Copies of this chain bind each other. A is one copy, B any other.
């Protein structure tokens, strides 16, 4: 879905696109444009332009710009989830430990962020920053969280059977925080995007896993 397919020229008839073909094309164009632009520099008009369609046409498929961005967010979350799953499965298929598979997922997370900074950021913008007054999650942006279920599931398996649900939650949050923080600091240029640093996650994730087992 996020493949760099040249989404222009998929017109097939004078009418325009085959039924339902414009929506995925718009999402694809949006993702492609995000490789080079900052998140806030992405405009509805630009997406339409890239697909070769008038800005108005977008409104046939999304109620407004926010909905378009929401669709982008979901697409990115799905891509990341797929890459994480692949990393996990590859390690397991090669006879690796569950912990090794867990670490591989974390490293995939960071590498994904580095490979697609703006996509990664738009994914995190799904849930709008908490407003000062309402800290409650506005729900509806659960695509990312769905993607994170894998991580939770993996963490849960790493913990001893008698671990409480709360212990599992905390462990997952710790792991996600570590990996997410490293990704963000690298994206923001605060720490160098070195593979050596990403590699150090192997040990950390291990630690986080065993530590919470207590």
Contacts and interface: CB of A to CB of B under 8 A. Distances in A.
Contacts of A211: 203-204, 207
B125 A188 contact: yes
A197 interface: yes
A35 B130 CA distance: 12
A53 interface: no
B129 A188 contact: yes
A92 to B, nearest CB: 25
Interface size class of A (residues with CB under 8 A): 35 or more
Contact of A182 (B121, B141, B181, B187): B181
Given A129-B189, A193-B130, A178 B178 contact: yes
Interface in A79-129: 114, 117-118, 121, 124-129
Given A117-B130, A124-B184, A124-B188, A200 B176 contact: no
A65 interface: no
A1 interface: no
Contact of A174 (B118, B128, B178): B178
How many copies, total? 2
B137 A189 contact: yes
Contact of A124 (B132, B170, B190): B190
Given A178-B178, A211-B203, A132 B189 contact: no
Contacts of A35: 132
A180 B185 contact: yes
Interface in A30-65: 35-36, 38, 40
24 contacts: A35-B132, A124-B190, A126-B188, A127-B188, A128-B189, A129-B189, A130-B189, A135-B193, A137-B189, A137-B192, A141-B189, A144-B190, A148-B190, A170-B200, A173-B191, A174-B204, A177-B178, A177-B181, A177-B182, A178-B178, A180-B184, A180-B185, A207-B208, A207-B211
Interface of A: 35-36, 38, 40, 114, 117-118, 121, 124-130, 132, 135, 137-138, 141, 144-145, 148, 170, 173-174, 176-193, 197, 200, 203-204, 207-208, 211
